[in-house]
Structure 1
Amino acid sequence: MSTHCDYKKQIYINDRIVIKTFVKDIGRSNFTLGYKFIHPAGNELLAYAEAVIVHYDFQSQKSSPLTKEMLIEMEKFLQVTK
């Protein structure tokens, strides 16, 4: 698993923001989620983040392929653009 965030503009503690989450990429045993932090008043991008999530089998202690059901559900939210 890995995560990173690129801050574009300052976000203040009392700011109300919208975080749009989507599936950016789907691999054999992992997937990448994208996050857009948006200021709703001006529809301005404040930050962009990504997280790579690995499907992990705790019993065998290694990654395992995503199931067909998982792939079907994730593909509904797949977006390729940043």
Structure 2
Amino acid sequence: MIHETPIHIRYSDTDLNGHVNNAVYATYMEEARIAFLQEVFPGQRLPLVAASIHLDFRRETRYPEHTDVVVKSWLTRLGRSSFEFYHQITSVDGEVLCEGTAVVVHYDFETRKSAPLPDWARQALLPYVREREESNLRV
């Protein structure tokens, strides 16, 4: 399954040249992860921390030419205590603008260490595990 999160680009997301600032893509991915987790675990909070984030920029995202984007998200790996999100940020007409991954870790805030994912969480996440679909675009 693929989760989709629509995001409206704000003028404040851009630099002086009208480009969406590179740091903002990480925020778009974070918004998508939050929406994903709220849908998969409604009313529940899974204690997670980000372990790594990686971005590959594919095309310019310019304002006001792009006023909205869509973040498509799924999982490419489901480990014992962590899982990897794959995010594809596209224009509303499907042009790939940015691709990225984020590894999140199930975390015990009392011991300050990673903790195994509960079976119920693993079962809820399994339908979202699929192969990574890299774009053919190279910058």
Aligned counterparts of 1:65 and 1:34: Cα–Cα separation in 2: 21
Aligned counterparts of 2:87 and 2:59: Cα–Cα separation in 1: 15
**Residue 126 (structure 2) pairs with residue 75 (structure 1):** yes
Aligned counterparts of 1:53 and 1:60: Cα–Cα separation in 2: 17
Flag the structure with higher strand content: 1
- Equivalent pairs, count: 81
Instruction: List 4+ stretches of structure 1 deviating above 6 A.
Output: none
Flag the structure with higher helix content: 2
Q: Tell me which residue corresponds to 1:63.
A: 114
- Shift, 1:81, TM fit: 2.2
Give CA-to-partner distance per residue, 1:36-75, whole Å, 9 cap, x none. 011222x221110110001110111110101101110111
Alignment RMSD: 1.1
Percent identity between matched residues is 27
Q: Tell me which residue corresponds to 1:29.
A: 81
Give CA-to-partner distance per residue, 1:13-56, whole Å, 9 cap, x none. 33121110111110111000111011222x22111011000111
**TM-score, reference length from structure 1:** 0.91
**TM-score, reference length from structure 2:** 0.55
**Residue 59 (structure 2) pairs with residue 18 (structure 1):** no
Unaligned runs of 5+ residues in structure 2 are 1-50, 134-139
